[in-house]
Structure 1
């Protein structure tokens, strides 16, 4: 929570002087500033109202102030008057407005002269309104004192109560700050750091992660699954395995996708129990990239679902040993037999398929450059039905007799044409169900803790609750290579030959394998609980 009881009059003194005297590329003496010879002399020079114009011009020329602050400074110069309460110069105006008793006058002055950004002005009005309602503020006289006072754990409740009454803390933020306060009351000490940047640095150190994680767990910022993952991470740290040098999901996705960091990320994932040795071996081999260099499940799924890329995906799986030899043989035989069936297909059915699938796609099937998907069997069945019953002697036309796949022969997608019955020849379909399982990820397989998780840190400038909440609470995965569905043909489905006089209705195509490549080796290995 950030509580501002005062509006420091910083337009000239604080911004300009601070910029001038702290600039590293400024050489003394400075001729434009009365030949001041050091920081102290320049500060004294610019504290005088008669030197304001020269100091602002110098700051603007040397890019020592932002355009916004330059604009505020020029507004102040145009007023030709002193600050609120007649104050003059940085120190005098700062002291005047640091006194909570002067908040009305300082806010009114800033509002009248457009010296405050809308957000700060709204916050100041909330403080004014709370004090007028009789809400007692913490016993600190100015902003600096209140920052120190409210950062002490024994004063948090008091400061939070004022923040709630003043309208600074509402909704989800209020719920989270109450969780933090409850943890403090139970004796759980927050990490010894102040402010987001300081706590980011503190909790990024492996030596401090346990303290930060424990506070996040005790404060209720983690789900049970997230707690379990955090414990795994702590186990890896205790083994002496340092986490990758990245923070947050996006940063770690990028970091661990680089070849130079592959082994580092995988080693930590193994030590934390997010990946087994077998998966790690494949992850190192593929370096976290799928066919065509795709990364992540969505990207690789889109790549491999494109018929133009299916041969690439198939070859990737083959080259990386993801498809057993027996299954490779069956898949090749199945593709050949499908090509043969297309050559024997009645022209009317072929024309229907060209219309349904596209001539270009059908040409790829014929040439063998693309694996037919499971949907092709359903489309073939629909085309046969659409063409109607065969004509000619005994209901069989000449053109139809040209296409006789044979009794029991299955078409792509596990479909059986109406004229097919009897035993099936072996070796025409893709991998058996039990072998196909090797090509799919195991349920719940994860190699990294949930991305975006975070924990709360003590505040800067009062109590900033946004530093005390997790970034995200979504389920964690490691966003590396997971290349989508690649279903060249359907697995064989045993069928019993029906009586010759009545062909059975076609069975629906079986469910497709979920993925060809089960390894997803990179992405977020950890989140350093840096607040959202």
Structure 2
């Protein structure tokens, strides 16, 4: 069954919010303040959000020079000689995460050694150095990278912004930190300027820049759904079923969704089985066996499932039975054991009894199990023929891959699930004899001659068990040995 590609309006209509992502990295100009934990000033600023932990602390704090309140403690912890004591106190009282503590300790070592950007020692000094002069941004970013202070994704964005600024780009409205940039770029009149910077700094993919520009024109004209201007307001507006038509028409006009997705959304009303509203939520819902029948019925009613798919779903039990009947008994056991392992013995029983319909997860299990069995069977036959044939097949190499007669008996629908490269591993000695394969085989493969010394040894009949016809063996002596065994 095809994916339930139910259009998620919240994801598509609010695409213009991608322009705001660029702003989240503009705090590079204040990289020390935003990402580097200079423990003194940063500790208590961060701790203000750790209310549950701070609530257990009483002032004055003897371990911190008997500081009497947060401000007094911040001042105490700004002093280089007191920083480690503050870190130890944070550890003891679980006031900072392990990661923040480790970052703080790395920074403290550099502060003590006088090896910070501009030799800054406090948050204020570092902000002034990194924000006050674009020429200093590179040093600040390098410092953050060297000490692994920023997450990889943020660091990559920071590097791009720093490079753009070094190249002469200007921050939108000359904003100097994240809050100011957020505020500036949230104004409709500044969207173009902010997008130009995002493009120059390469901090948004080209397709997102293009989508954001499409949205910008609607924002300026005030023609977004409900005249919404922010991601939150647009999400809130378009969640209402009363606004569905307006929002879907906007998505179509703005080119935020493909024609196929728009049609799908109109068919379904933007919702799938169980009220799911995205590919992910619909997949989760429909892969639950309890909802499988509901999802199939939904797909049929909404025209999301083709006639061919309907027949495949209806006849899946027969297809599995055909596939099992057409393979070696040993391979059959492997497939059935795999089914029970992958989908559960009870689910497999119900599937074969037609008590349930297959989910996408069951379909994936069926495909995997047949592929896996084919591979294992090919390996087993190759090893068996090598062993029984003394390391040779008619004097040459043992055939590899899936025996032709085995492939012929597997239903076409299941054969299509087997990778081409695996199908192509049909024994060379057999495959080259198929007439339609370029006119048949004309000469024996390299090495397919009898051992030196004259007559071929007595045949080992086990190697011919799965050969459909002795005439398909290229070497005449191999054919003769095969006929003796038949």
Give the TM-score normalised by the residue count of structure 2. 0.48
Which has more helix, going by share of residues? Answer: 2
- TM-score normalized by the length of structure 1: 0.44
